[in-house]
Structure 1
Amino acid sequence: MPKKITAVGYSAAMARAEAEPARARFWVGLDVGLRNTAVCVVDADGAVVHQMSMKSDATEIGRYLRKNFKSHVSMIGMETGSLSPHLAAQLRRQGFPVAVLDALQVHRVLSIKRNKTDTNDARGIAEITRSGREYLTEVYVKSSLSFEIRAYLIMRDRLVKQRRETEAMIRGLVRVYGGRIEGGTESPATYRSRAIDQMCLIADRENIDLRPRVLPLLDLCQSFYDEAQRIERELDLLAAANPVCRRFMEIPGVGTITALSFFSAIEDPHRFRHVEDVAAYLGLTPRVYQSGDSLTHGSVSKMGNQMTRTHLVSAATVMLSNTKSFSTLKDWGLRLSKRVGFNKAKVALARKLAIVMLSLWRDGTHFMAKAANVEAHRELMRRQAAV
């Protein structure tokens, strides 16, 4: 437990707080590390009241603030990071206001310091929390349900990537000895059969038996596939139980993975002022550089969540190339692809898809294949909600 503070600066600050309780306000900056967190407290004038380092534990930090600063803490600031969601949720549960700031933007502000130390970083975060929050992006901290869904999606994504990388490694090993494993299959059993056939041919031709070395890797690929399938079945159950995700999956090309990915990345559809803002949030809008008379529109920013952006682009690709049902959205994407090319069109369609999905979520409506039917359907849903 932290000891009672006896520093002169702290005593003077608390004396002023006792004399003028209405003006007694303190801002706290936390530079969170895996084991320890640097804490800096500043007053309304930006003067440092106290600095120290303690365990990265919300209970310890909350006890320190309650014991020494009572109810005078105006805001606690911290950067985004792996521990930030947990610490922010626990501190808010204890009644403290917490602002989680974008780490990239905070880094750019703190980089003006000549010496980078945890103490200096905590001081800078406290000062940003006191006077600079209007200029930096405050990050929305999602609920535990969203993090649980994201964890499932990340595990599935890693398993699929590891299986594909292992299969590519086996394909490269066999190719050294003149073998060739044909691609074009998602089934590990089919891939295993083709790999064994090629290894048998190599054993006959070169008198080299690769099976003792490669068969354990094929077993590993099968394990990756089975575990990914298990996670996908659990995700199917989660999506089926979620009415928002069920509406998302009415859109051609949008499946369980894309629906849950978008749902968990946004969580609260009303935190965007305009529905178009979701495209910029997911990094699907072009970068803009303007200086004097020059104005350049570059490629998409690729900011925000990479996995959800990839899922939306995949859904747009499926809509353009694999779906047979007509929709105004698909027709717009096909016309655009003839003008700018398929790759640019699928990204543009992913951007429009994100806007459509957020609109469905906010309005409580269903996907309409024809754009002409949207307003009538929206009005019908409004009347039903008013009854």
Structure 2
Amino acid sequence: MKYKVFIGIDVSKLTIDVHLHGIGASKTFSNEEKGFALFLSWVKKYSKQSEPAEMIICFEHTGMYSIKLATYLNDIGIPFAMLPALQIKQSIGIRRGKNDQIDAQRIAEYAWLHRETIQATLLPAKSILKLQSLLTLRNRLVCDRGGYEATWKEQKKALEGKEHKGIFQVYKSLIMNLTVQVKKIEEQIKAVIESDETVKLNYQLLTSIKCVGPVLAANMIAYTHNFTRFATWRKFACYVGTAPFEHQSGTSIKGRTRVSSLSNKQLKKLIHMVAICACAYNPEMKSYYKRRVSEGKNKMSTLNVIRNKIISRMFAVVNRGSCYVDLMKYAA
């Protein structure tokens, strides 16, 4: 669709700074529903000839600060593009100086320059948004617990005697409390999955794959918006940082093919752990890993192939709508 009005918004904790491209008008509003309503009324004064569907509102994805605006625009049916900040930053070239109004102007310029290719963002279902929040909280609690466990273990080696018993009891209590909270979060995650039939079905399909457990399955559903965000598993592999890319230029630079550091590192970590588990407990992956390494292939490269195999299988079972079949059991 061809848009006529291009609006850039710089979202912060308390305010949103708005800029209308071509008109040059800028204004600041509060980052709440009342401010959003005033913002749209202000925009209509400058775009009386345009329908709401002919405008595109572009802003950076700033997590919980931008989700309120995105939800508001989604509910009233106004197109918006919520983009990664790095994508906009790398596209504007060399610039000096910044403030909220300048950032809003640059975002509006980005929307206008990419008017032929920019696509409106579609928010996932509310159950997916809730699942994302729960998984983020679970990951934070697990990381905190791991930090306390590591410190407790090291201090038990270094500090001896009854005078340090109180310190160890505090660590033990913290770890036990965090474990209880993690279990409560996992129960809520399970309840969200059970509440949506399509999410529940995809969850069951994913966990039918060997070594793919509840945590990876839930994260896959959350980050892929229940497998509607990526057209193919290869695009997802690029997003998650397991797709290899060439590093070559002219005759002087002939580097190794390697994966990009621009990735979803949390999801990549989970897939990597599953790949390691598959190499140890999945007979098919174990034999493949040993055979490829014995041929002189790099171990990390082989592990990355297995990561991509797991990704392709997850997308395959969801697209096919049937559980994973272990063909190795039927091999002659």
Give the TM-score range, shorter chain. Answer: 0.7 to 0.9
Listed one character per residue, the Cα deviations across residues 94-149 of structure 1 (whole Å, up to 9, x for unaligned) are: 22111122210211234522221222221121121112255779766433322211
1:272 is matched with 230
Letter in 2 for 1:285: A
Q: Give the match for residue 248 of structure 2.
A: 290
Residue aligning to 1:367: 324
Alignment partner of 1:79 is 2:60: yes
Shift of 1:273: 4.0
Q: Is the 8 A contact 1:282 1:302 kept in 2?
A: no
Distance in 1 between the 2:120 and 2:306 partners? Answer: 28
CA deviation vs aligned residue, 1:6-54 (integer Å, no higher than 9, x gap): xxxxxxxxxxxxxxxxx99321111111112111112xxxx33411111
Identity of aligned residues (%): 20
- 1:281 and 1:24 mapped to 2: Cα distance? 27
Distance (Å, rounded) in 2 between the aligned partners of 1:260 and 1:247: 12
Q: Describe the shift of the 1:253–1:134 C-alpha distance in structure 2 as closer, same or farther (beyond 3 A).
A: farther
Contact 2:3 2:56 in 1 (8 A): no
- Alignment equivalent of 2:239, drawn from 281, 284, 294: 281
Question: Which residue of structure 2 aligns with residue 209 of structure 1?
Answer: 163
Corresponding position of 2:47? 69
- For structure 2, list consecutive stretches of 5 or more residues without a partner in the other structure: none
The whole-number CA distance in structure 2 between the counterparts of 1:24 and 1:175 is 65
Q: Is the 8 A contact 2:245 2:259 kept in 1?
A: yes
More off after superposition, 116-125 vs 229-238:
229-238
Per mean C-alpha deviation after superposition, the further-off stretch among 232-241 and 218-227 is 232-241
Q: Aligned in 2, Cα 1:236/1:316: closer, same or farther, shift over 3 Å? A: farther
* 2:275 corresponds to 1:321: no
- Equivalent residues in 2 for 1:224-235, closer than 5 Å: 224-235=178-189
Counterpart for residue 7 of structure 1: none
Structure 1 residue 262: Cα displacement: 0.7
Unpaired runs of at least 5, structure 1: 1-22, 178-201, 374-387
Paired residue type of 2:268: R
**Alpha-carbon distance between aligned partners in 2 of 1:304 and 1:85, rounded to the nearest angstrom:** 21
Amino acid at match of 2:9: L
> Match for residue 60 of structure 1?
38
Give the Cα separation in 1 of the matches to 2:126 and 2:290: 39
Cα distance in 2 for partners of 1:238, 1:330 equals: 34
Q: Work out whether 1:157 is the aligned partner of 2:139.
A: yes
State whether residues 9 and 57 of structure 2, in contact with CA within 8 Å, keep that contact through their aligned partners in structure 1: yes
Pair 215,269 (structure 1): closer, same or farther in 2 beyond 3 Å: closer
- Shift of the 356–335 alpha-carbon distance from structure 1 to 2, 3 Å rule, reads same
Distance 1:258 1:140 in 2: 23
> How far apart are the structure 1 equivalents of 2:130 and 2:232?
27
Structure 1's 330 and 134: CA in aligned 2 closer, same or farther, altered over 3 A? farther
1:1-387 alignment to 2 at 5 Å? Answer: 25-42=4-21, 47-57=22-32, 58-70=36-48, 71-72=50-51, 73-82=54-63, 83-110=65-92, 112-133=94-115, 141-177=123-159, 202-203=160-161, 208-239=162-193, 242-293=200-251, 294-323=253-282, 326-327=283-284, 331-338=287-294, 339-340=296-297, 342-370=299-327
Per chain length, whose mean CA-contact separation is higher, i.e. which structure has more relative contact order (CA < 8 Å, sep 6+)? 2
Q: Distance in 2 between matches of 1:55 and 1:164?
A: 39
Residues 245 and 309 from structure 1, CA distance in 2 versus in 1: closer, same or farther, beyond 3 angstroms?
same
Tell me how large the CA RMSD over aligned residues is. Answer: 2.9
Call closer, same or farther: CA 1:222–1:272 in 2, change over 3 Å: closer
Normalising by the residue count of structure 2, what TM-score does the alignment of the two structures yield? 0.83
Q: Deviations over 1:195-246 (max 9, x none)?
A: xxxxxxx33xxxx511123212211111011111222233345556601110
Secondary structure class of the residue paired with 1:304: coil
Q: 1:333 and 1:66, CA in 2 relative to 1: closer, same or farther beyond 3 A?
A: farther
SS of equivalent to 1:113:
coil
* Alpha-carbon distance between aligned partners in 2 of 1:172 and 1:39, rounded to the nearest angstrom: 52
Structure 1 residue 271: Cα displacement: 4.3
The one-letter code matched in structure 2 to 1:98 is: F
In structure 1, the residue corresponding to 2:233 is in which secondary structure? coil
Residues 242-268 of structure 1, C-alpha deviations (whole Å, 9 max, x = no match): 011101111010111111111111125
Structure exhibiting the larger radius of gyration computed from Cα positions? 1
Tell me how many residue pairs correspond in the alignment.
316
Q: TM-score, normalising length from structure 1?
A: 0.73
